[in-house]
Structure 1
Amino acid sequence: MIFKIIKNPKSKAYNEVVALGDKNSKTLGFLPHSAFAKYAREGKIIGAYPNGSKELIGYILYRVSYNKVTIVHLCIPEEHRKGNTASKLVRHLKENTTQYDGIRLSCRNDYKIDRLWESLNFVPIKEKPGRGKEKLALTVWWYPHHHNDLLSQISDYELKNKIVAVIDMNVFLDIKDEREEESLALKSDWLLSEAILYYTREIHNEINRGNSSEIKKSSRKLLNYFTELPFKEEQEFKKILEKLEHEFPAISKNDKSDLKHLAYSIIGGAQFFITRDKELLQSKKFFTKYELKIYRPSEFITRLDENIQVSKYKPQRLIGTNIKSQRITSDNIDYFTRKFLKPDEKINHFQKKNQESFIIST
């Protein structure tokens, strides 16, 4: 497939885009021809063509404001909708707009194409009424571009003094609906002074499966009391997710979401994952290779003192960076002794002093 930026409002390619947009205006919404021409001159219309053909099989039209990309149109002719042209156009846009904060779009709920946006790692962040006469509900979807800056990282204070833990959807709902005492203990003021509870961006997809707009709205409101784990490299996320899917074959949407929560937690550098899922709790040893501890809410609380001691060191992977750390243990202390022992220092003194310390590396 070939992608071309369509910039000339007098070209045949431009007229084909406008004709396709007009033909599908009932679903896309009306866009004046003057607006089409403006976006073309700005280089914000991308056409898709089969290799070796001049036939237009789709286009994407977007705008940029406040350093965010907004998809205005994503249009594929009816006879080409069974292919993956739409996905390829969006991926092309993602690859060529990394200088911006991210990409957003609004999509009517009754189109029932949530699976497309989820597959492209967009998440639904809110719902709003449409502008038409019927005011049909729209969902706003968001894909962030990861920028390794201070705003995408946890503060030094949090890294040195707080426990970094992620809660899954069930624990989130326990707190929201006040249905499980062990999860409700996570709301305690004394606990929040020691730990920061995070959620991963996958929780937006799970909230979007709620039975009503009111349920979704109340769940999104509760998210304000927690912090979203920074999203890192998408390709790294896909690699980790593939490994988890191989180890834990997912059957339902909820199963798939569980694995996505874990993959985001791993690449985000979380130390702890809090869940009541029996299968995950039985598989906690598997996640030790990712330096992620799986706890029930009650177990996380009862082992808090131990976890606080661990969190006084840098976490295994500093969130939003490529810096990693490794605990010195009896299995590797001889290696680090050879690496760091001073010429005039005694081996037993060095090993006693550094047992259970961390080595920081990049």
Structure 2
Amino acid sequence: MPSSTGPGSSGPLRLAVVRASDEDAVQAAIRLGNMARSTLGHLAFAAYYDAAAKDTLLMAYSDDRPVGYALYDLARRRVRLTHLCVDPAFQGRGIARLLVDEISKRHSDYLGIAASCRHSYNLGPMWISLEFTNIGERPGRGKDAAPLVDWWRDHHHPNLFTADIDTVLVRAGIDLNILRDITEANRPDADDSRSLVAPHLIGRLELVRTAALDAEIDQMAGDLRGRCARRAQPFASVRAASGEVKQLTERILEQVRQIDPTYPSNENDEFDLRHVAHAAAAQLKVFITKDAHLTQVLGPAATRFGLRVLRPADVVVHIDELARAESYRPVDLLDTGYAQRLVGSGRDSDLLPLTNSSTGERPKQLLKVLKQLAINGHDRVGIYSPTGAIVAAYGLIEADNSLHVPLLRVINRPLGDTLARQLLFLLRQHARDTGKRILRITDTSMSAQVRSAALTDGFREADPDLFTYVLPVVGDAAEVEHHAVKAARQAGVSEPAPLGSGMPAVVAAELEHAWWPAKIVDSDLPTYLVPIQQAYSADLLGVPRGLLPRHELLGLNREHVYYRSPGGIRLHAPARLLWYMSTGGSTVAQPAAI
């Protein structure tokens, strides 16, 4: 049995299992229990003898003096702690901790230790310090039916709620506001917090509860305390040594007080500090909160100790960053110096220059759109200039048959018109590649350049949205019409007018442009095969890719002038062009291609 010298104790502490034959020890436990009857309640003397007979009565001694005991039972792979009692003269010396730790050691093959205690006894801090967590409440047996708190000390055996360490990307602590958001059905502005328990994050995000969260739950009043405790029950409990928590608290305060010497100045500040210190001491990498003050004051200091303080939406993006790291790396946009990449966690404010004030939009409204995309797991893509400045952005939502674009912005500069047209074509390509037949822009504050370019590009208005068809079909007019009507009905948009065979080249060209990549083969629209040398193809078409970026105007523009030799067939517009790249080149020879 372990022994220890408690602070200020007169002798070493030791533990011993009380045997049924040890009458003096059993009677000593009964006397200690009677001294604490106001909180322990009455327990029949026979229960003490029964526990001794089962080797489930554990006594603590200071020298030879009985100073505390734990009486428990074993049932259904759980340890049921009936009494935990310490002589008042010896309280505060770690005796309760010794007793509980010994029970866990002796019965580590059991799931954990369960205990019950009236909340009105105000013993929550003690249970939390012993690594118990509040898992729920129920009415007590007394006449007043005072709430009885169910406490649980887990032995960390795998269960139905245990996260798979091979798939979990982030383990994160949360504060009480996040817990309340996912507990209270009618709590306002809680969607971002509820996204943390969305199905697509199961197995990738593990929410855990620290001693700081348990302490904050314990101080709540009314039935909400029990509801929050039950909601947090599946969350794994993480604990750090009290000495390490104290040391980290002092080091964090040292950093924070360089900016605010009076911190913490109120109870909320103290809870915030406790949350961050416990999360960092437990070696968590992420702590989730919506508290802007906590993030601003404690976030920089927490980062020094390996803990990121993030909003719920940023956590969702952060998980996506880890799962799709390659997608968050900059990619050349059409082989130019411009780059596109997914907007990472904590970078929403980078997109504020794209706020469309001409529609009455405020920066806060744009941030809300970005947050909503993030918490629902949708891509947010930024386009950046060679200097790293944001010049455009878009967000995507994939529906059954449609690709929705709730965010489509370009910078309000001359380059914006060019970017708008190029982005619309990139979105068409994405819709085609993902099998979507309708491309729909739903951004209510889309840039003016985007609206103008979309209407020029064949989009139709469906107030307040703009939409177009994306039809990967090569066929006669009847077949193309069939696919367009089918797509319109599935997406709930207006159907196109009937198409006839033998349509003029101008009409066919406009339709093929608007419904790209559709091709109407029974129209009068001609097709030409145009040869181009490899060096010119690299600049004009981006094929083959060169070692150096293309000129921005050549790479981003969708309309160019190409001067060819005057010989050969005379071309007439409108027409389809197929480019034939000849073999060879001034650098590395490439095979001929169309």
Displacement of 1:36: 1.4
User: Per the alignment, do residues 134 and 66 of structure 1 end up closer, same or farther by CA in structure 2, a change over 3 Å counting?
Assistant: same
Q: Of the candidates 306, 327, 348, which is equivalent to residue 321 of structure 2? A: 306
Aligned to 2:145: 135
Q: Of the candidates 94, 109, 112, which is equivalent to residue 102 of structure 1? A: 112
Q: Of the candidates 120, 123, 138, which is equivalent to residue 130 of structure 2? A: 120
1:97-153 per-position Cα deviation (integer Å, ceiling 9, x unaligned) = 323221121112222222211222211111122223333322111111234x57675
2:30 maps to 1:18 = yes
Q: Of the candidates 121, 138, 143, which is equivalent to residue 111 of structure 1? A: 121
Aligned to 1:315: none
2:43 maps to 1:34 = no
Aligned to 1:246: 250
Q: Distance in 1 between matches of 2:45 and 2:56?
A: 14
Secondary structure at the counterpart of residue 31 of structure 1: coil
User: Per the alignment, do residues 47 and 306 of structure 1 end up closer, same or farther by CA in structure 2, a change over 3 Å counting?
Assistant: closer
2:158 maps to 1:168 = no
Q: Residues 1-362 of structure 1: matches in 2 within 5 Å?
A: 1-51=13-63, 54-81=64-91, 83-147=93-157, 149=158, 153-155=162-164, 158-159=167-168, 165-176=172-183, 181=189, 183-188=190-195, 192-194=199-201, 196=205, 198-202=207-211, 203-212=213-222, 214-223=223-232, 228-229=235-236, 231=238, 238=242, 241-249=245-253, 252=267, 254-255=271-272, 257-259=274-276, 262-263=279-280, 266=283, 272-277=286-291, 278-281=293-296, 284=299, 292-301=307-316, 305-310=320-325
Secondary structure at the counterpart of residue 42 of structure 2: coil
Aligned to 1:317: none
Check conservation: 2:170, 2:319, Cα contact below 8 A: no
Structure holding more helix per residue: 1
Secondary structure at the counterpart of residue 131 of structure 1: coil
Secondary structure at the counterpart of residue 248 of structure 1: helix
User: Per the alignment, do residues 66 and 191 of structure 1 end up closer, same or farther by CA in structure 2, a change over 3 Å counting?
Assistant: closer
Secondary structure at the counterpart of residue 210 of structure 1: coil
Check conservation: 2:135, 2:232, Cα contact below 8 A: no
User: Per the alignment, do residues 180 and 293 of structure 1 end up closer, same or farther by CA in structure 2, a change over 3 Å counting?
Assistant: farther
Displacement of 1:28: 2.0
Secondary structure at the counterpart of residue 193 of structure 1: helix
Q: 2:39 is aligned with what amino acid? A: T
Q: Distance in 2 between matches of 1:72 and 1:190?
A: 35
1:41-77 per-position Cα deviation (integer Å, ceiling 9, x unaligned) = 11111222213xx222222111111121121112233
Displacement of 1:209: 1.6
Check conservation: 1:125, 1:140, Cα contact below 8 A: yes
Aligned residues: 297
Displacement of 1:293: 3.5
Q: Distance in 2 between matches of 1:284 and 1:90?
A: 35
User: Per the alignment, do residues 82 and 218 of structure 1 end up closer, same or farther by CA in structure 2, a change over 3 Å counting?
Assistant: closer
Q: Distance in 2 between matches of 1:79 and 1:305?
A: 55
Please, which runs of 5 or more residues in structure 2 have no aligned partner?
A: 1-12, 254-262, 328-594
Check conservation: 2:77, 2:111, Cα contact below 8 A: yes
Secondary structure at the counterpart of residue 152 of structure 2: strand
User: Per the alignment, do residues 44 and 285 of structure 1 end up closer, same or farther by CA in structure 2, a change over 3 Å counting?
Assistant: same
Check conservation: 2:74, 2:80, Cα contact below 8 A: yes
Q: 1:296 is aligned with what amino acid? A: R
Displacement of 1:19: 3.2
User: Per the alignment, do residues 199 and 91 of structure 1 end up closer, same or farther by CA in structure 2, a change over 3 Å counting?
Assistant: closer
Displacement of 1:299: 3.3
TM-score between both structures, scaled by the size of structure 2: 0.43
Q: Distance in 1 between matches of 2:42 and 2:243?
A: 40
Q: Distance in 1 between matches of 2:312 and 2:122?
A: 35
User: Per the alignment, do residues 197 and 62 of structure 1 end up closer, same or farther by CA in structure 2, a change over 3 Å counting?
Assistant: closer
1:302-338 per-position Cα deviation (integer Å, ceiling 9, x unaligned) = 66653431499xxxxxxxxxxxxxxxxxxxxxxxxxx
Q: Distance in 1 between matches of 2:248 and 2:272?
A: 11
More divergent stretch after superposition (118-127 vs 29-38): 29-38
Q: 1:244 is aligned with what amino acid? A: L
Aligned to 2:472: none
User: Per the alignment, do residues 18 and 305 of structure 1 end up closer, same or farther by CA in structure 2, a change over 3 Å counting?
Assistant: closer
Q: 2:245 is aligned with what amino acid? A: L
Secondary structure at the counterpart of residue 324 of structure 2: helix
**Alpha-carbon RMSD:** 3.7
Displacement of 1:6: 1.0
Check conservation: 1:200, 1:261, Cα contact below 8 A: no
Check conservation: 1:166, 1:200, Cα contact below 8 A: yes
Q: State the identity as a percent.
A: 24
Q: 1:248 is aligned with what amino acid? A: I
> Relative CO higher for 1 or 2, CA cutoff 8 Å, sep ≥ 6?
1
Please, which runs of 5 or more residues in structure 1 have no aligned partner?
A: 313-362
User: Per the alignment, do residues 153 and 293 of structure 1 end up closer, same or farther by CA in structure 2, a change over 3 Å counting?
Assistant: same
Check conservation: 2:128, 2:215, Cα contact below 8 A: yes
Q: Distance in 2 between matches of 1:46 and 1:199?
A: 32
User: Per the alignment, do residues 2 and 116 of structure 1 end up closer, same or farther by CA in structure 2, a change over 3 Å counting?
Assistant: same
